[in-house]
Amino acid sequence: MKVLIANRGEIAIRIIRACRELGYSTVAVYSEPDRKSLHVLHADEAIPIGPAPSSESYLNTQRILDAAKSTAADAIHPGYGFLAENADFAETCRNEGVVFIGPSVHAIRAMGSKTESRSLMASVGVPIVPGLTAPVETFDELSEFASANGYPVMLKANAGGGGKGMRIVRDGEELRKAYERVSSEASSFFGDPAVYAERAILSPRHIEVQVLGDQHGNLIHLGERECTLQRRHQKVIEECPSPVIDEATREHIGKIALKAAAAVSYDSAGTIELLRDEEGTFFFLEMNTRLQVEHPVTELATGIDLVKEQIRVALGETLSLRQEDVKLRGHAIECRIYAEDPYRNFAPSPGLIRNLMLPSGPGVRNDNGVYSGYSVPLHYDPMLSKLITFGVDRDEAIQRMKRALMEYRVDGIQTTIPFYLSMMDNDRFRAGEFDTGFIDRHLEELAQPKVTEEYVEAAIVVAAIRALEESEKVVLPDRSDSKWKNASRFEGVRGRL
Amino acid sequence: MKRIAIIDGEQRRVLVERFEDSFVVEIDGKRIIAELIHANASIDTLRIGKGRQYAVVHQQSGERHAVFFPSSRVDLDLRDPLTLSRKGAGDDLGGDEKIVRAVMPGRVVRVEVSEGDEVERGKSLLVIEAMKMENTIEAPRRGTIISLHVEAGSTVDTGAELITIE
């Protein structure tokens, strides 16, 4: 069995690892700037698929299928992002006799449209956020909904997802402008200007449920993930389990998730995203018909290898687990390490990683995609790696994360590590009390370097010693005393001796 | 070796000498015995006094030093007191580099100043897009814009000359 991984970075490596453990060989694909990326170096075979822009490489279905054919790959794993939720690509793969490691084309399509999935969910009794279940045709239609519902309302792109193409509207005056804005964003990001509206849920928590199904009608859930901590609608810290979910609630949202997944006869690994309002009511938000970035926290808390399970069921195997086999134990936390400078308003920081020291020790997992000497390209997502820690309980997982972040050293580019360190010390975070707006509201304080007199003195000492060492360096003329050169000279004259 | 450290416009006198296997550093007369253990080219552990240790990453560009601790960062200039007095200390504490350079590769989205403009330190000069994000480049010091080396749409590499300020 040979699997081609149509992705890059840490997730491609994660999938290569799962394939190796299953005894399968692997094919990496890469764009020009990714020639020396870590995922490429890990694979058994590597095929170039085009220049830097994703549209000409990682989103180029023809090149990827050609690579699969030229290497005689049996299956394609799309990872997350790129082609992972592209129903046409999944269909083409299957028509060409290549296994697409993901759910049925029908499930991808049904969950791909926000309004269609909302009406489907409502029809099977899954609670949805109150609002429209079809895109608005005119502004008047939207205005009518807003007046009837009352403000604030949430405008969303019908084809949206991943936190893009959404806007909260607080009063009637903002409505027209917001409508035009979301519609044009929807057009440019998703190629579909359709917009709909729903009630805005204030101070929500974002909690999602992992599901796993096979092609024989078996479907189970693997508990929840806490994904409330976001910056600009992008998740940054995830946990399993959630500090606000007890056993009864877990069973309740597990049932909601299974009902939602069963409505599309789901037969792979997938995630039902839910919003929890301040009263503790849950609403269906969307279904991600793919592997999730934050899947490792579920893996650590359940002991189940999600990627291997996903590959097995795609190959037609029956799920080896029953619902009663799934038990959450301990606590896992993930921090997404980005090449961004938290002290400079999270400006991207691509470039050469001169040195890298990854944390290790008990309960630490690195899903890492970079190395010392690697240059982070500016064409792609700035995520370098995911750092995940596991502990017997949430406190231990947090302390471990703090400890691991202190061991983590990167030189050459800036990363979000200092930001996560201050999060781990934050009282509200430690108490588990936060909503999706928490980080954006407290960003200034969370991204502030702790500059105390102690640090200033230590910094001066370091800089002064470095400057002295620099001044002592004497540049010697090249005396060609390299051992390699000497050895080759010796080889050269040996025959004449 | 004598140096003046400048942090947020504040100056401190620094003296650094070798002392057996370690160093002695004096900051405004306060004596600190220190050892800097190089794990590799830039990742260090600083050991001072009776053994207090700090994990540090050190970066340098000319006289500018950035020292990173796990949850902090300190930026400082380390100047030779002789050159400092020659230039008239205190006039240009934002650094004496006249050329503003790109700190990251990317594409110039817009330029927000024109030649001849007077700018204050921190004024937004231009915006560079990288990794699908827009980043504002600010004036490192007060001065006059002498020349613009890029325009909207230019692609730049790290270290590329953007603007000259005097």
ipTM of the modeled complex: 0.78
The Cα–Cα gap between A410 and A194 comes to 43
Residue B91 clears pLDDT 50, i.e. is over it:
no
Cα A157 to chain center, whole Å? 21
Across the range B77-94, mean pLDDT stands at: 63
For position A336, what pLDDT does the model report? Answer: 98
Query: Hey, is A73 helix, strand or coil?
Result: coil
Cβ separation A461–B46 shorter than 8 A = yes
Using CB atoms within 10 A of its CB, is residue A492 exposed (0-12), middle (13-18) or buried (19+)? exposed
Higher pLDDT, A470 or A248: A248
Say if CB A314 and CB A75 are below 8 A apart.
Answer: yes
Structure tokens at A362: 């008990």
Cβ separation B3–A466 shorter than 8 A = no
Higher pLDDT, B26 or B93: B26
The Cα–Cα gap between A275 and A277 comes to 6
Q: Which own/partner contact pairs does A478-481 have at CB distance under 8 Å and 24+ positions apart? A: none
Residue B155 clears pLDDT 70, i.e. is over it:
yes
Cβ separation B41–A355 shorter than 8 A = yes
B73 in reach of chain A (CB within 8 A): yes
Cβ separation B56–A349 shorter than 8 A = no
Structure tokens at B105: 């590769």
Cβ separation B16–A382 shorter than 8 A = no
CA-to-CA dists, residue B163 to B128, B140, B150, angstroms: 13, 11, 8
A382 to chain B, closest Cα gap in Å: 7
Q: Which of B73, B109, B129 to mutate to test the interface with A (most CBs of A within 10 A)?
A: B73
Question: Chain B, 77-116: which have a CB under 8 Å from a chain A CB?
Answer: 78, 104-106
Structure tokens at A469: 């060492």
Question: Chain B, 12-31: which have a CB under 8 Å from a chain A CB?
Answer: 12, 14, 16-18, 23, 25, 27, 30
Encode pLDDT of A298-351 as tens digits. Answer: 999 999 999 999 999 999 999 999 999 999 999 999 999 999 999 888 988 989
Say if CB A424 and CB A398 are below 8 A apart.
Answer: yes
Residue A219 clears pLDDT 60, i.e. is over it:
yes
For position A196, what pLDDT does the model report? Answer: 95
H-run or E-run covering A242: none
Strand partners, B17: B24
Residues of B in contact with A448 (CB under 8 A): none
Strand partners, A385: A337, A368
Encode pLDDT of B120-143 as tens digits. Answer: 888 889 988 877 667 778 888 889
Q: How confident is the model at residue A367 (pLDDT cuts 50, 70, 90)?
A: very high
Query: Hey, is A113 helix, strand or coil?
Result: coil
The Cα–Cα gap between A440 and B86 comes to 46
Q: Return the closest-CA partner of residue A307 out of A62, A84, A63, A35.
A: A84
Say if CB B8 and CB A460 are below 8 A apart.
Answer: no
Per the rule left: phi > 0, alpha: psi between -120 and 50, beta: everything else, A378 is: alpha
Residue A487 clears pLDDT 70, i.e. is over it:
no
The Cα–Cα gap between A479 and A483 comes to 12
Residues of B in contact with A408 (CB under 8 A): 70
What share of chain A in percent tops pLDDT 90?
85
Find the closest chain B residue to A449 by CA distance. Answer: B72
Least confident of A34-43, A124-133, A437-446, A472-481: A472-481
Q: Out of A290, A312, A394, A400, which one is annotated catalytic? A: A290
- Chain position carrying tokens 């029956």: A318
CB nearest to B14's CB, from A354, A464, A466:
A464
How many C-beta atoms lie closer than 10 Å to residue B128's C-beta? 26
Structure tokens at A203: 């101070």
For position B43, what pLDDT does the model report? Answer: 82
The Cα–Cα gap between A78 and A65 comes to 12
Residue A262 clears pLDDT 70, i.e. is over it:
yes
For position B88, what pLDDT does the model report? Answer: 44
The Cα–Cα gap between B123 and B117 comes to 11
For position B89, what pLDDT does the model report? Answer: 41
Across the range B137-154, mean pLDDT stands at: 89
For position B94, what pLDDT does the model report? Answer: 44
3-state helix, strand, coil in chain A (%, to 5): 40, 25, 35
What share of chain A in percent tops pLDDT 70?
95
